[in-house]
Amino acid sequence: MNKTFFLLVPFFVFCFASCTVNKAKINNDLKKYFDSAHVEGSFSLLDNRTGSITVYNMNLDTQRISPGSTFKIMTSLIGIQAGKITDENMVIKEDSLSNTKSEENKSLTMKEAFQISSASYFQEIARQIGRETMKLWIDSIQYGNKDIDGPIDSFWLNNHLKISPDEQLGLMSKLYFDQLPFQKFAQQMVRNVMLMDDNTLYKLSYKTGLGIDENNNSTGWVVGWIEENRHVYFFVTLAKSPDKNIDMKTAEMNITKGILKELGFFKGEM
């Protein structure tokens, strides 16, 4: 497929194309996957070939909540664009990270940090980017509610910055097709580190995210795309639960993969 390229600097307001109710097919049969995990949630899928959209729980699909670690996609794009991330193998040493001693705080490459969702690595990148540059890019692409109040290294976790599943779906599509106002190599690098499963039947790329919303619910995201038979499909899963002890990461992945399997994926036939 031909990819469309946008200007490299944010001299315009960039809007996500969001899913609309009249374009979406509602599939309430998917509720069982959320019920089996004892969570509330939403799921959306965009078939790029036909433009068709499948949604479970449209009400939640259009509600904005904290992006959690899915914001590492944006931190990566801005960090690469601003020259703070040079390549996937860029290492940040332990002594540049927070003073908290943990297993996560070892020296990591950018790819490793992204794929294990290292908080300290991307907090350091956010500090290097700075508030002014961060705000410029968040505003330019109209990311969710654009609110970056709070510490520069954690504002995406404090329930000020919020984005809806609908908007996340638009972001995934634009990232895949180089349609965000970042340099092409920045978008390609982020796509590379999002690739989690690559085999002869399909390629599965995603980023997960965990958080706590303003009502003290545990939240979980899975945002990304699956490629099969030379076609790409974008998806977003959002899950919420009042249970603080829930294994949300396992729940969100089981829901996502269960739904994709029911819809016919993972066979190389879609």
pLDDT per residue over 61-93, tens digit each?
A: 999 999 999 999 999 999 999 999 999 999 987
Say if residues 264 and 237 touch (Cβ distance below 8 Å): no
Does the active-site annotation cover 69? yes
- Candidates 3.40.50.2300, 3.30.43.10, 1.10.3720.10, 3.40.710.10; CATH matching 22-262: 3.40.710.10
Residue (of 215, 212, 207) closest to 252 by Cα position: 207
How far apart CA 143 and CA 15 sit, in angstroms, is 8
Tell the burial category of 4 from Cβ atoms under 10 Å away from its Cβ (0-12, 13-18, 19+): exposed
* pTM exceeds cut of 0.85: yes
Ordered DSSP codes for 73-142: HHHHHHHHHTTS--STT-EE-GGGS-S---GGGS-EEHHHHHHTT-HHHHHHHHHHH-HHHHHHHHHHTT
Gyration radius (Cα) of the chain, Å: 18
Catalytic residue among 42, 44, 66, 69: 69
In whole angstroms, give the CA distance from residue 237 to residue 255.
8
Bridge partners for 241 per DSSP: 218
Residues of the chain with pLDDT under 70: 1-22, 94-105
pLDDT tens sequence across 211-228: 999 999 999 999 999 999
